[in-house]
């Protein structure tokens, strides 16, 4: 059985135990010949402090292999430059091509040799905070081989698995990543990035650079329990909207109209008004002055609008697209207007996934449309756990929240 010790949160800032000192000890240990790293974020600071130990390790013919994430601008150009010039192998990991894609987030360090291995698995990134001053935790495993060989096999399998979303770093790829603003530049002010761009999804040159995996969306938020709430004692109860809190996105079946209008659910709007920017502050300008204006969201939300075909491949993209959004009062409908190429390629009851990405500062929503036939369509349809009024249709549309 592996020997297990646990780093307590206050151990690092109080200097009782620090990961960087543990790494120095293992780099100097004759029992080990291979060192592997899987981290979400990396900066130059820890590598500078470990540089002497790393050089001695490598001069003895030993290997260092690493996978470093580049999501969230958490890894610096300087850290990757160091790894590229010193490490035996260095890969960069990135998952997906949209604002809502998940983050590569593991933190693992392990050393292995013929008779022994030691691993650190926890919350520690390869940064000064992660290895020295932050309140972090890890589990330290000491393995005696061959008795604990299965645990080492499991650790090595994590490495192989991480390569599914990684690309081997080269000088050319490093230059592209830095030039596109996907990396921190530690020569600039703290927190600055190398260009004004801060999101890999905006950088079209990286399409196909990283392996892709099918990311299953989160489970749906349970449908609100419908109930009657008394308005006042001895007064007939009235139905009140049941709020939905913490939703990241709306999933809904749609039927685009020939004029480009897509009807969203007013029920969904009532459940989560802030998601839609409701109530709308502007008004439409009727073509005929005698016609009544309707509430309109002003300015139009800026969206990244994508349509995927039955095979799950991107077919049409409008980015950025100004999404006209109006409340049609006579039928209590929220209507958005999409381009005609979207209308002509979207079968009835396709599924739209609308995510709030306003925190990016460049877009309000990311909108994906999945047509029947794709794996993603089936997955997202399963999230639609609420039914809308049928409006006379044979089968009512469904929606849900993630």
Helix and strand tally (H, E) in the chain?
Answer: 10, 22
Percentage of the chain lying above the pLDDT 90 cut: 76
- Residue of 6, 33, 17, 21 whose CA lies nearest to 145: 33
Predicted local distance difference test score (pLDDT) of residue 330: 85
Q: In what order do the strands lie in the sheet with 166-168?
A: 3-6, 138-144, 116-122, 107-112, 34-39, 63-69, 89-93, 166-168
Q: If pLDDT is split at 50, 70 and 90, which confidence band does 198 have?
A: very low
Q: Do domains 3-206 and 228-401 have the same CATH topology?
A: no
Range with the lowest mean pLDDT among 85-99, 103-117, 295-309?
85-99
Q: If pLDDT is split at 50, 70 and 90, which confidence band does 203 have?
A: very low
Range with the lowest mean pLDDT among 22-26, 285-289, 307-311?
285-289
Predicted local distance difference test score (pLDDT) of residue 95: 84
Q: If pLDDT is split at 50, 70 and 90, which confidence band does 241 have?
A: low
Is residue 326 scored above 60 in pLDDT? yes
Is residue 221 scored above 90 in pLDDT? yes
Predicted local distance difference test score (pLDDT) of residue 191: 44
Is residue 194 scored above 50 in pLDDT? no
Predicted local distance difference test score (pLDDT) of residue 233: 55
Q: Strand 238-239 vs strand 116-122: parallel, antiparallel, or unpaired?
A: unpaired
Q: If pLDDT is split at 50, 70 and 90, which confidence band does 235 have?
A: low
pTM above 0.85, yes or no: no
- Give the pLDDT mean for 232-250: 70
- Give the pLDDT mean for 361-383: 95
- Give the pLDDT mean for 192-213: 53
State the Cα–Cα distance between residues 19 and 17, nearest whole angstrom: 7
Q: How many CA atoms lie within 13 A of 281 on its CB side?
A: 6
Predicted local distance difference test score (pLDDT) of residue 259: 96
Is residue 196 scored above 50 in pLDDT? no
Predicted local distance difference test score (pLDDT) of residue 205: 45
Predicted local distance difference test score (pLDDT) of residue 390: 81
- Give the pLDDT mean for 71-83: 95
Burial category of 42 from C-beta neighbours within 10 Å (exposed 0-12, middle 13-18, buried 19 and up): buried
Is residue 23 scored above 80 in pLDDT? yes
Strands (E), 188-309: 228-229, 238-239, 249-254, 261-264, 282-283, 295-296, 302-308
Distances (CA, A) of 95 to 81, 105, 210: 21, 10, 8
Is residue 329 scored above 70 in pLDDT? yes
- Give the pLDDT mean for 171-179: 94
Is residue 201 scored above 70 in pLDDT? no
- Residues β-bridged to residue 283: 295
Is residue 362 scored above 70 in pLDDT? yes
Predicted local distance difference test score (pLDDT) of residue 200: 44
Is residue 296 scored above 80 in pLDDT? yes
Position with higher pLDDT, 94 vs 81: 81
DSSP letter, residue 76:
B
Return the domain boundaries, the chain: 3-206, 228-401
Is residue 104 scored above 90 in pLDDT? yes
Is residue 254 scored above 70 in pLDDT? yes
CATH of domain 3-206: 3.30.870.10
Predicted local distance difference test score (pLDDT) of residue 246: 84
The alpha-helical segments, DSSP class H, found in 180-225 are none
Range with the lowest mean pLDDT among 120-134, 193-207, 241-255?
193-207
228-401 has CATH 3.40.50 classification: no
Helix (H, G, I), strand (E, B) or coil at 73: helix
Is residue 169 scored above 90 in pLDDT? yes
């Amino acid at each position: 059985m592996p020997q297990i010790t646990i780093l307590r949160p206050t151990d690092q800032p109080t200097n009782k135990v620090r990961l960087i000192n543990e790494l120095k000890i293992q780099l100097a240990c004759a029992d080990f010949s291979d060192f592997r790293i899987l981290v979400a974020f990396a900066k130059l600071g820890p590598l500078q402090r470990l540089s002497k130990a790393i050089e001695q390790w490598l001069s003895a013919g030993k290997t260092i292999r690493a996978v470093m994430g580049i999501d969230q601008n958490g890894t610096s150009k300087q850290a990757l430059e160091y790894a590229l010039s010193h490490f035996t192998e260095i890969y960069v990991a990135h998952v997906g091509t949209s604002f809502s894609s998940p983050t590569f987030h593991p933190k693992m360090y392990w050393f292995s040799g013929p008779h022994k291995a030691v691993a650190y698995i926890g919350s520690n990134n390869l940064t000064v905070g992660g290895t020295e001053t932050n309140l972090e935790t890890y589990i330290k495993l000491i393995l005696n081989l061959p008795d604990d060989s299965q645990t080492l096999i499991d650790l090595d399998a994590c490495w192989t698995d991480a390569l599914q979303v990684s690309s081997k770093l080269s000088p050319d790829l490093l230059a592209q990543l830095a030039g596109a603003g996907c990396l921190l530049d530690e020569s600039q002010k703290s927190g600055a990035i190398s260009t004004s761009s801060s999101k890999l999804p905006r950088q079209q040159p990286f399409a196909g650079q990283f392996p892709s995996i099918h990311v299953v969306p989160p489970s749906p938020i349970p449908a609100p329990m419908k109930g009657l709430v008394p308005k006042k004692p001895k007064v007939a109860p009235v139905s009140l909207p049941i709020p939905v809190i913490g939703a990241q996105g709306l999933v809904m079946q749609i039927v685009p109209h020939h004029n480009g209008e897509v009807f969203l659910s007013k029920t969904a709007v009532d459940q989560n008004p802030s998601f839609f920017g409701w109530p709308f502050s502007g008004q439409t300008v009727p073509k005929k002055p005698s016609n009544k204006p309707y509430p309109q969201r002003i300015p139009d939300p800026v969206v990244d609008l994508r349509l995927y075909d039955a095979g799950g491949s991107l077919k049409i993209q409008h980015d950025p697209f100004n999404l006209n959004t109006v409340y049609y009062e006579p039928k209590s409908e929220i209507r958005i207007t999409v381009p005609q190429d979207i209308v002509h390629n979207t079968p009835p009851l396709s599924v739209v996934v609308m995510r709030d990405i306003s925190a990016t500062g460049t877009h309000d929503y990311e909108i994906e449309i999945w047509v029947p036939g794709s794996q993603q369509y089936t997955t997202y349809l399963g999230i639609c756990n609420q039914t809308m009024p049928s409006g006379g249709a044979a089968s009512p549309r469904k929606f849900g929240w993630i």
